[in-house]
């Protein structure tokens, strides 16, 4: 169980988290989504006890994280593949033995655990190769295995998809999916694709505040009643306000299905439009609307 109440975190004059409140059940899978600088990593660092809050209350498994009690640390993992913990001159397995001993894990135990996790992630043939020789994706996987060796019940996973190709991303998603019902997962990402199928709950952070916290079922219900209208034009053109510029000459509107016909009619005679398309919206459209309307 994770309980956060009125959590504030400041870095000098800058407030990174502005009094946020939420709770997470045991076994819940939660995605914390938001653009760069939203406060996602700061939140995970506070939940895992690396940073202390300036005010508010935080409880994880009935512990105050920043007190860093042994029993607390034994049950959580913070994995941030961007910040490698692995020693690159050693093979992953030697790293696992080394880090495992810090958790009081024996050699055999570490081997067994590492091999089964590596098999699930398709990297068992790389366990004895020097970390520096691994591909980026393989290294990310090894970093995740390292975080899971001590069998934590709560996993904080910070931006694991950065730099992964879509196959590795899918593999990682189905790997995490295998822990459903067994562990609690809080995963941050600014890459949204594939996330909706993995998690139970989406928490959107924006400028240090919670823009939304919803179940994926609620989001699916909302998306069912919406469409995304995309317009491509030769150059920048003026469109009704519901349209947002995506890139040069590309606009999109995330609207209610009932308004679709009226909007298409409204824009049909606007000069300069090359292409108009109507799509089933994605979670990404929803998150974008939430944070750009703030
Ligand atoms: N140690 C720090 N010192 C000063 N500012 C920080 C520090 N850590 C984070 N911040 C600022 O807090 C904000 C949120 O950062 P972060 O939690 O890393 O965002 P996210 O992970 O969502 O991209 C950013 O504006 C960042 O610059
Ligand atoms: Mg971050």
Domain extents in the chain: 2-216, 225-292
The span from the CA of 37 to the CA of 252, in Å, is 24
Instruction: State mean pLDDT over 162-183.
Output: 94
Q: Measuring from atom 25 of ligand 1, which residue has the nearest CA?
A: 37
Alpha-carbon gap, residue 253 to 256, rounded angstroms: 10
**Nearest-CA residue for atom 11 of ligand 1:** 16
Percent of residues, the chain, with pLDDT higher than 90 = 91
Using CB atoms within 10 A of its CB, is residue 92 exposed (0-12), middle (13-18) or buried (19+)? buried
51 C-alpha to ligand 1 centroid (Å): 12
Candidates 3.40.50, 3.30.160, 3.30.70, 1.20.950; CATH matching 225-292: 3.30.70
Cβ-proximal residues to 202 (8 Å cutoff; 6+ apart), any chain: 30, 31, 33, 195, 196, 212, 213, 214, 215, 216, 219, 283, 287
Residue 135 has pLDDT above 70, yes or no: yes
pLDDT at 169 over 70: yes
Q: Can you give the pTM of this predicted structure?
A: 0.93
At 191, is the pLDDT very low, low, confident or very high (cuts 50, 70, 90)? confident
Topology at the third CATH level for domain 2-216: Rossmann fold (3.40.50)
Is the pLDDT at 292 greater than 90? The verdict is: no
Mean of the per-residue pLDDT values of the chain:
95
Beta bridge partners of 63: 60
Give the SS3 label for residue 27.
coil
**Cα 173 to Cα 225: distance, rounded to the nearest angstrom:** 27
For ligand 1, atom 24, name the residue with the nearest CA: 37
- Count CB neighbours of 83 within 10 A: 10
Residue 188 alpha carbon, nearest atom of ligand 1: 21
User: What are the pLDDT digits (tens) for 85-111?
Assistant: 999 999 999 999 999 999 899 999 999
């Amino acid at each position: 169980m994770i309980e956060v109440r009125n959590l504030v975190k400041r870095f000098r004059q800058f407030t990174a988290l502005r009094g946020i409140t939420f709770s997470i059940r045991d076994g819940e899978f939660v995605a914390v989504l938001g653009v760069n600088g939203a406060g996602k990593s700061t939140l995970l660092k506070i939940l895992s006890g690396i940073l202390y809050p300036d005010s508010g209350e935080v409880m994880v498994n009935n512990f105050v994280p920043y007190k860093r009690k042994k029993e607390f640390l034994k049950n959580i993992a913070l994995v941030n593949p961007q910040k490698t913990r692995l020693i690159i001159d050693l093979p992953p397995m030697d790293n696992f033995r080394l880090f495992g001993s810090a958790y009081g894990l024996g050699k055999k135990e570490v081997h067994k655990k590492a091999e089964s996790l590596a098999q699930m992630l398709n990297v068992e043939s790389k366990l004895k190769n020097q970390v520096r020789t691994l591909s980026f994706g393989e290294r990310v996987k090894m970093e995740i295995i390292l975080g899971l060796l001590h069998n934590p019940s709560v996993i904080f996973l910070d931006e694991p998809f950065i730099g992964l190709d879509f196959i590795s991303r899918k593999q990682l998603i189905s790997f995490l999916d295998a822990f459903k019902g067994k562990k609690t997962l809080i995963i941050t990402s600014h890459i949204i694709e594939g996330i909706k199928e993995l998690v139970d709950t989406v928490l959107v952070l924006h400028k240090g505040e919670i823009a939304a916290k919803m179940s994926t079922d609620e989001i699916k219900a909302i998306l069912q009643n919406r469409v995304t209208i995309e317009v491509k034009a030769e150059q920048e053109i003026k469109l009704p306000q519901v349209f947002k510029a995506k890139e040069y000459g590309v606009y999109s509107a995330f609207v209610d299905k009932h308004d679709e016909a009226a909007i298409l009619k409204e824009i049909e005679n606007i000069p300069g439009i090359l292409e108009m398309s109507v799509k089933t919206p994605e979670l990404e459209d929803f998150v974008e609307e939430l944070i750009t309307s703030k």
